[in-house]
């Protein structure tokens, strides 16, 4: 027992005990956390400079279409899906058609109860 006590105290005296304390302080790993690079944030998809956004100007629920006003935005192409929002909440989905007139575009209702004034965005 005396020999074990001398050996243990000798290890601590010559720095043997410091490794255990350092390993405990950084979570049990052999490498300190400061040696690891910080992770970079995930890449965000590129957003177009002028995304098409509009407002529902007319709803015909019986025939299943809406007329969307794109006065302050670029008119989108046909056969694109757009989400419909009311007060920031997603409430439906439409698909654009080729029928358009100046800043207005007809879109088929895919789902949701869409009302006049709702926002239409990609």
Whether 52 shows a pLDDT value over 50: the answer reads yes
Q: How large a percentage of the chain has pLDDT more than 70?
A: 61
The pLDDT of residue 21 is 47
pTM, two decimals, is 0.58
Confidence at 51, pLDDT banded by 50, 70, 90 = confident
What does the alpha-carbon distance between residue 57 and residue 16 come to, in Å, rounded to a whole number? 78
Q: Which helix (H) or strand (E) holds 24?
A: helix 16-25
The pLDDT of residue 99 is 95
DSSP string spanning 40-85?
PPPPPPP--SS---EEEEEEETTTTEEEEE-TTSPPPPTT-EEEEE
Whether 94 shows a pLDDT value over 90: the answer reads yes
Nearest to 116 by CA among 98, 97, 91: 91
Nearest to 83 by CA among 62, 100, 102, 68: 68
């Amino acid at each position: 027992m005396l020999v074990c006590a001398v050996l243990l105290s000798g290890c601590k005296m010559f720095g043997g005990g410091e490794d255990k304390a350092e390993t405990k302080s950084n979570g049990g790993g052999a490498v300190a956390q400061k040696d690891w690079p910080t992770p970079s944030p995930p890449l965000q998809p590129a957003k177009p400079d002028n995304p098409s956004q509009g407002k529902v100007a007319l709803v015909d629920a019986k025939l299943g279409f809406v007329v969307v006003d794109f006065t302050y935005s670029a008119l989108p192409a046909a056969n694109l899906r757009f989400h419909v929002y009311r007060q920031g909440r997603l409430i439906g989905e439409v698909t654009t058609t080729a029928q358009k007139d100046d800043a207005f575009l007809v879109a088929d209702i895919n789902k949701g109860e869409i009302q006049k004034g709702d926002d239409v965005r990609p």
